[in-house]
Structure formats: structure tokens, C-alpha cells
Structure 1
Amino acid sequence: MKTLAELKELRDKVQREMKKRDQGTRAEIIVGMGTCGIAAGAREILKSVLAEVEKRELDVRITQTGCIGMCEKEPLIDVKLPGKERVTYGNLTTADIPKIISEHVVNGNVVTDLVIAKH
């Protein structure tokens, strides 16, 4: 860095990235990526989530987590909307992801036939 302008540009970039990490103001999807989840197809689920969110141009935070102890229900995702309870979906296929994104993330309606837990 050689100029004050470069420093300000870096600061602005970091502030934008930090704002994206704010968990309280936007929807969040957490994909279970423990070895049990990966063995059950979690990589494909993650790819499907990323593709659907990008296709719809949604402002959604997508993160990964390790095993949460429900290996028999893998692959799993959690959906957390601001001000709402976290919902865990399980035994998923990539065909389920557009429905979850459309119904739950976009419209706020829980897809009850795929829910395995509410927190």
C-alpha cells in the first residue's frame, strides 16, 4: 500500500465483507458437511443451495458446519430467517433444495414434510 486512497479502498472492502457476515439481518442457510453428511450427498446439496441462491440473486448467508449428531438424517440443512426459529431439514436430495429456497427462504413458509427439527 502506497497511498491513503489505497488504504481507504481496503477499509471499504473489509467493511463490506464484515457486513455480509452479519447474522441478524438476513437469511442464513447452514449445510451439514461432516463426514457423515458428505457420505450422504452433502456436497451436492451445498452446490444446489449455492446455485439456487445465485440463480434467484438472493442475499443469503451460506455457511457449513460439521456433524451435529443426526447422521441417519443426513444430508441436513438449517434455515434461519431473521426473527424466526431455526428449522432443520433432513434426508434431502438436490430436488428438495429449490422448494426449500422458494417456500421457506423467499416466502417464509416452512416446508413441513421435510422438517426434522425446529430450534
Structure 2
Amino acid sequence: MTKIKSLADLRKMKEEVQSKIKLRENSDNSGQLVQIKVGMATCGIASGAKDTMKFFIEELEQEAIDAVVTQTGCMGFCYAEPTVEVILPNKEPVIFGHVGKEKVHEIVDAYIKRGELVDGIIPVNFKTIDD
């Protein structure tokens, strides 16, 4: 942890924390924002989902992309953990498997910024009860 030596250091730390909180709690208008849900069940956590979530928050902040980053429970794809669901505004959700630091960068750069599909998509072959 960094030592705080001045009021400027404290203000800088406050701004960093507030921007990270904004990414996680920006749910008021989540339908118009990129939504990222990281699978944080026991299997996801054991496979590195906490780091994956941290990587997403850092990458989105660095790229100045407004998004909602949250955690969710088991998605049922334990073989592909860490798993991440990405929902672009007005698009169907896409689930990615085996998401580490490099995959986070690829998802943000190619899929979120340019709308290009990337390797690692888990096909969803079921319908919800509402369909």
C-alpha cells in the first residue's frame, strides 16, 4: 500500500477509489452502458476471477469507457472459469471463458471498442423461460 505523504496524495487516492467505485455501481443507466458480469462462484474465484475483475476495472478506467462491472454467481461453465458475460448496449449478452489478463485486454480492445468478436466465446444453446 502506498504511503500518503501530503494532502495531494490523499486527493489522488480518493479520485482513484471513486472512479473504481463508479465502474461497479453505475447501475442507474446500465441499459445504456457496457455491462460486465464476472462469475464469482467458488470455482471462478479459485480460477482467478478476482484478478479478472480487477483487470477489467483497470482496463476500462485506462480506456475511459463507461461501464458497469459487477460480480455474479455460477454461470454453469465451471470448465471455462473465469467466465465473463459482456452486454453491449442494445446487443445480446456474450459469455467468454478462460478470461485472464490478456483476454481482458482483447475483449476491451476488440469487442467492446470495435464490436469485433474474439475467440473464447461460450455458445449459449438454451432459451430462457420467457422465450
TM band (smaller chain): 0.7 to 0.9
Paired AA for residue 54 in structure 2: K
Identical amino acids, percent of aligned pairs? 37
Partner Cα separation in structure 2 for residue 92 and residue 116 of structure 1:
11
Instruction: Give the structure 2 partner of residue 47 of structure 1.
Output: 54
Query: Could you tell me how far 1:23 is from its partner in structure 2?
Result: 2.2
* Match status 1:20 vs 2:26: yes
Q: Unaligned regions of 5+ residues in structure 1, if any?
A: 1-16
Query: Could you tell me how far 1:49 is from its partner in structure 2?
Result: 0.5
Partner Cα separation in structure 2 for residue 74 and residue 56 of structure 1:
25
Instruction: Give the structure 1 partner of residue 97 of structure 2.
Output: 90
Q: Which 4+ residue blocks in structure 1 deviate beyond 3 angstroms?
A: none
Quick check: 1:80–1:87 contact (8 Å CA) kept in 2? yes
Larger Rg: 1
Query: Could you tell me how far 1:117 is from its partner in structure 2?
Result: 2.6
TM-score for both structures, normalised by structure 2 = 0.71
* Match status 1:115 vs 2:87: no
Paired AA for residue 34 in structure 1: A
Paired AA for residue 37 in structure 2: I
TM-score for both structures, normalised by structure 1 = 0.78
Query: Could you tell me how far 1:118 is from its partner in structure 2?
Result: 4.7
Please point out which of 87, 95, 99 is paired with 1:80.
87
Quick check: 1:33–1:66 contact (8 Å CA) kept in 2? yes
Q: Unaligned regions of 5+ residues in structure 2, if any?
A: 1-21, 126-131
Q: Secondary structure at the match of 1:63?
A: strand
Partner Cα separation in structure 2 for residue 20 and residue 95 of structure 1:
25
User: For each residue in 1:7-58, what CA deviation from the matched residue of structure 2 results, as whole angstroms up to 9, or x when unmatched?
Assistant: xxxxxxxxxx8x9312211111111111110001101111110110011111
Quick check: 1:85–1:118 contact (8 Å CA) kept in 2? no
Quick check: 1:79–1:88 contact (8 Å CA) kept in 2? yes
Query: Could you tell me how far 1:100 is from its partner in structure 2?
Result: 0.3
State the number of aligned residues.
Answer: 101
